[in-house]
Amino acid sequence: MTPLDLMLGALGLAFGLAMVRVLRGPTIADRALAGDVALYAVIGAVALLALRQDAPPFLDVVLVATLLGFLASVALSLLIGRERR
Amino acid sequence: MSVVATVLIGLGAGLVLLASIGVLRFPDVLTRANAASKATGLGLAVLLVGVAVEVGTPRGWTVLGLAVALQLVTTPVAGHVLARAAYRSGAPLWEGTRSDDLRGYYRTHPRLRDEVRPPAHDPGPGAA
């Protein structure tokens, strides 16, 4: 399964690039945004690993992580919006 | 893997990679939010559809279809909320920004926006 490995590598690269922005980003919003992108890369990687290891239960992790990512970014935006006072 | 699944998964992984490149390279928060929410929303949805095609069981289609639907609904909302919070918290804009319709409507963070923004108590065009 070479193409699957290639796509996993692409997602890993995406995670690394987003992490560079998390470390470098000048504002908190930059870090939150890049963390979101990194989370999406991880979700995609989990789905591909479920395929690669032939382990369908991992797909539930994808569903839960999608919702958690949304909640996390909304909560972070509330915190960022409060920073200005 | 089937051809359809390979194409869909490759497209999705490529879009997520493009989003991360955009997040790394773009000049300010709003452009980064644009790149992140558009490309990850569509990219992850396409990737999950590809995985569902390859898994092929009814349970796989249900779980992944639900995940894709939630993804398509929540990603634009999350991107919008995050970009709005970033703007309100006074994140500096790119110096090449041509139009800024919200200019003056929010009291912005004086520490961050002095060089780009009007003074913090500027009532804005709508208040006259």
Contact B39, B19 (CB under 8 A): yes
- The ipTM is 0.87
Compute the average pLDDT of residues A37-61: 90
**Could you tell me if B2 and B54 are in contact, meaning their C-beta atoms sit under 8 angstroms apart?**
yes
pLDDT in tens, B12-68: 999 999 999 999 998 888 889 898 888 888 999 999 999 999 888 898 899 999 999
Could you tell me if B116 lies within 8 Å of chain A, comparing CB atoms? no
pLDDT of res. B115: 45
Examine the pLDDT at B117 and tell me if it is beyond 90.
no
Residue B20, pLDDT score: 92
For residue B43 the two structure tokens come to 């990219």
Contact list in A for residue B12 (CB cut-off 8 A) is 44
Is A30 close to B32, i.e. CB distance below 8 A?
A: yes
Helix H, strand E, coil C: the string for chain A is: CHHHHHHHHHHHHHHHHHHHHHHHCCCHHHHHHHHHHHHHHHHHHHHHHHHHCCCCCHHHHHHHHHHHHHHHHHHHHHHHHHCCC
Alpha-carbon Rg for chain B, nearest whole angstrom, is 20
Residue B2 CA to residue A82 CA, distance in Å, equals 49
pLDDT digits (tens, 9 = 90+) for B45-56: 999 999 999 888
The C-alpha atoms of residue B37 and residue B79 are separated, in whole angstroms, by 5
Give residues with Cβ within 8 angstroms of B118, minimum separation 6: B103, B104
For chain A, say whether B77 makes contact (Cβ under 8 Å).
yes
| Higher-scoring residue by pLDDT: A52, B1 | A52
Contact residues, chain A, for B91 at CB < 8 Å: 26-27, 29-30
pLDDT band at B114 (very low <50, low <70, confident <90, very high): very low
Q: What gap in Å lies between CA B102 and CA B87, rounded to an integer?
A: 9
Tokens 């041509």 map to which residue?
B98
| CA atoms of A28 and A32, how far apart (whole Å) | 6
Asked if A40 lies within 8 A of B6 by C-beta distance, the reply is: no
Name the residue among A3, A17, A66 with its Cβ closest to that of B67: A66
B71: closest CA of chain A, how far (Å): 7
Looking at residue B29, what is its pLDDT?
A: 87
Q: pLDDT at residue A83 above 60?
A: no
